[in-house]
Chain A
Amino acid sequence: MPHVLAMGGDVARFTGGASEFEVAALSVGAMIRELEQRWPGLGEYVERRMAIAIDGEIFQDADGAQFRHGSEVCLIPKIGGG
């Protein structure tokens, strides 16, 4: 199962403290739905405010991006820039 690691402290507020967990989902979109189901509000929060690094590569607003079974999925605050 993909291993999810949340950075920045916000996710833990939804999960009751957990910032690392496994998900069954194999895509960003599916993960957002799964998180919303497990911890109401978190899916929407991740969708709006977080970028997702899959095995080191950052995706923003990319519902279709796929995970592998052992993927490291890192939730990080969205990044803009100047």
Chain B
Amino acid sequence: MTDVLDRQQTETHFATVGTRPIRPDGVDKVTGRAAFGADFVMPGMIWGRILRSPYAHARILGIDTRKALALPGVKAVVTGADFPDLASEIIEGGEAASNSRDMAVNVIARDKALYEGHAVAAVAAISPAVAEAALELIEVSYEPLAHVIDVEAAMAPDAPLLHSHIFTEGLEERPKLPSNIARKHQFVRGDVDAALAAAEVRVEGRYTTKAVHQGYIEPHACVASMSEDGQGHVWCSSQGHFMVRSYCAKVLGVEISNIKVTPAEIGGGFGGKTTIYLEPIALALSRIADAPVKLVMTRDEVFRATGPTSGGVIEVKLGAKKDGTITAAEVELKFQAGAFPGSPVGTACMTALACYDIPNFRIVGWDVVTNSPKTAAYRAPGAPISAFGVECALDELAQKLGMDPVDLRDKNGARDGVKAAYGPTFQNIAFLDTLARIRQHPNYHVPLKANQGRGVAAGFWFNVGGESTGAVRVSDDGTLTVATGNPDIGGSRAGMAMMAAEVFGVPVDNVRVTVPDTQSIGYSMLTGGSRTTFAVGMAVVRASEKVVADLKKRAAGIWQVAEDQVAWKNGEAICLDPAKADAKPLTLKGLAAQSGRTGGPIQAEVSLNAQGAGPGFAVHSCDVEVDPETGHVTVLRYTAAQDVGRAIHPSYVEGQLQGGAAQGVGWALNEEYIFDAEGRMENAGFLDYRVPVASDLPMIDTVLIETAPNPRHPFGAKGVGEAPIVPPLAAVANAVSAAIGVRMTDLPLSPPKIRAALDAKKA
């Protein structure tokens, strides 16, 4: 492995990068051929089902599985007792670093059920119907306990306690008593109290959001087979099959080399498939049943048992001079983590003020466990929630100052050389250009009518690099195969093929891309953090360059010239040696045909740890119309601009902006986990948990800002997938607030809340 950061991108004109070819896996996906998680079957396969807790919080006094095991056709039953008890250990991998013991207990409960939907037992049987019937025969003896879901209620000293081993981390002194507050985060610069006191203009607000689900349309699914000698094979859809492999090994207490994971196509993830739920259970069932076991979640299970992101409370104070210079910001964030520590409140703190240059601030974040599903990553984890509060407060400040909201952001906006609120000094960023393009966009100048409003908001995401592998192989006929270790969640095969084609100077259709199993390619971190096109792309480019170097060497051998007398251009080796003026170019095809004689198969696999992911800045503007009778909000116009470095495949970059905006609109207007008094989710289906549908949205106009290519990426790419979900919550809320003349602070902005606000305004 090497840390890659030395290549400085110099080219600015590309043959393939920046064009819009058809993705190499496209035909499979429009014809129904592509095999997703639930599409895989194996000979001799049986079906599993999972029994889930009906209680939000309960002690498990005992589980009697005898009747279920006695049912004809039942081949295996497992409970938490069939899994090893793990020591507490942090699994590296990001801000919401998970703890392996927590992960294991989340997969299947041990002494307590910590949320409604928590897995407590599982069966495998010869048919789905028998498995379902067997679930009914498992007798679980519960002692229901008081539960807590609201984040502030969970922080209270007398709140029902989820875990007796949690003592708040991040305080100056370790507390004497356990609590639900897992961790305090704090980021401070300057003297915020003095600066707020001295500010000429101040705004202050309290904002709240509800837990929302990633809402991928494909439920979690896997087939797992574990043989008698302890070797396991899993087929599943996930954001990283290497992640599934190492987590399964950890939860089952087996060696990583004994687990092989073959990736299925993934039907959406948005962060929600960066962990495991079914896979170790399926392996454990298979080990007992001596047969492959298929487990597929229902939509109800997806909602009740898999990762939403946090509901949160965001309190913001801003202080400014009359000219709009922001002098102070105080932000306090309280996030639901769900049943185990690890909400994204840390990144919410770090991103909260990242778009701006503010001399004095204090950002405090609280990670709080609650009796709800353990939160999983969701697209720019945490950032949309803190941005909702901060960007709404900025909107209010702009109103108070009588300034255009874009101008206010521009006056205080981050630029090269500004020290980010989370620490480092920015370089190669284009936030101000992104603001300017929103201001210039025709949508920003359409006159508004009655009951209409316009909202603007900005957002930031770090983007990451990380460990990545790419392999390039030349076939006998000169066509190319690219392999990576990263599931293609949104068109990354297209980007990989294009980057390889660019290096080789061949048509993109000559490059095919595959995502092989964990035994057939080097390790890669999962597809997430907006890292794949950037980091895995870097590995593919490196591997391509290595192959090109090899091809030049072979050409030099054929021509009997020095290697530096060979150039590579447009898919051909060209002899530069004037003494060999008659040497005709050697094509990739010609060199491939001679590979046996010139040293054997031509290929390279490169593993690296990509550094230098450039951060992403997004600015969105949104126009809405509110129906004063019903409180219903119609989104009239939506514009998403983003600093993307350089778009490899612009259509798929635009698609990321549009999809992120749409998810954010749903978060702002409709989506929320609703719990009853017993802590049971009341809307665990797409009818009642309402994600945006086609008729809810207008066309989403995009502006790709390419004025600051990432110098660390061979073609200038920055991550693009996450930043676009950061601004919409506030952009929509600011638009609605403007339309009705009332500051709306509590998401989602559902019709009853808007009606109530309008009624209160009248009264």
A contact residues vs B (CB 8 Å cutoff): 5, 7-10, 13, 48-49, 53, 55-62, 64-65, 72, 74-82
Given contacts A8-B346, A77-B95, contact A82 B528 (CB under 8 A): yes
CA distance A55 to B427 in the complex (A): 9
Assess whether B425 is in contact with A56, with CB atoms less than 8 Å apart: yes
Assess whether A58 is in contact with B92, with CB atoms less than 8 Å apart: no
Besides the known contacts A80-B94, A82-B380, 14 further A-B residue pairs in the complex with CB atoms under 8 A apart? A8-B185, A9-B186, A57-B612, A59-B612, A62-B3, A64-B3, A75-B423, A76-B423, A76-B424, A78-B92, A79-B95, A80-B93, A80-B381, A82-B269
Assess whether B424 is in contact with A53, with CB atoms less than 8 Å apart: yes
Interface residues of B in 94-116 (CB under 8 A from A): 94-97
Assess whether A5 is in contact with B185, with CB atoms less than 8 Å apart: no
Chain A residues with CB under 8 A of B464: 58, 60, 79-81
CA distance A48 to B184 in the complex (A): 18
Assess whether B90 is in contact with A49, with CB atoms less than 8 Å apart: yes
Chain A residues with CB under 8 A of B378: 82
Residue in chain B with minimal CB distance to A9? B186
Residue in chain B with minimal CB distance to A17? B172
Assess whether B186 is in contact with A8, with CB atoms less than 8 Å apart: yes
A67 to chain B, nearest CB (A): 13
CA distance A46 to B738 in the complex (A): 45
Residue in chain A with minimal CB distance to B426? A56
Given contacts A61-B467, A77-B346, A77-B350, contact A82 B381 (CB under 8 A): yes
Chain A residues with CB under 8 A of B270: 82
B contact residues vs A (CB 8 Å cutoff): 3, 5, 90, 92-97, 170, 172, 184-188, 214, 269-272, 274, 346-347, 349-350, 377-381, 422-427, 461-467, 528-531, 609, 611-613, 712, 721-722
Interface centre among A48, A56, A79, A80 (most CB of B within 10 A): A80
Chain B residues with CB under 8 A of A77: 95, 185, 346-347, 350
CA distance A5 to B462 in the complex (A): 18
B640 to chain A, nearest CB (A): 17
Chain A residues with CB under 8 A of B465: 60
B524 to chain A, nearest CB (A): 14
Give the contacting residue for A82; candidates B90, B422, B529; CB below 8 A: B529
CA distance A76 to B347 in the complex (A): 10
Chain A residues with CB under 8 A of B93: 78, 80
Chain A residues with CB under 8 A of B612: 57-59
Residue in chain A with minimal CB distance to B378? A82
Assess whether A80 is in contact with B3, with CB atoms less than 8 Å apart: no
| 30 intermolecular pairs with C-beta atoms under 8 Å apart | A9-B184, A9-B185, A48-B90, A49-B90, A56-B424, A56-B426, A57-B427, A58-B462, A58-B611, A60-B464, A62-B3, A62-B611, A64-B3, A72-B424, A77-B95, A78-B95, A79-B529, A80-B96, A80-B347, A80-B381, A80-B464, A81-B94, A81-B377, A81-B461, A81-B463, A81-B530, A81-B531, A82-B272, A82-B378, A82-B381
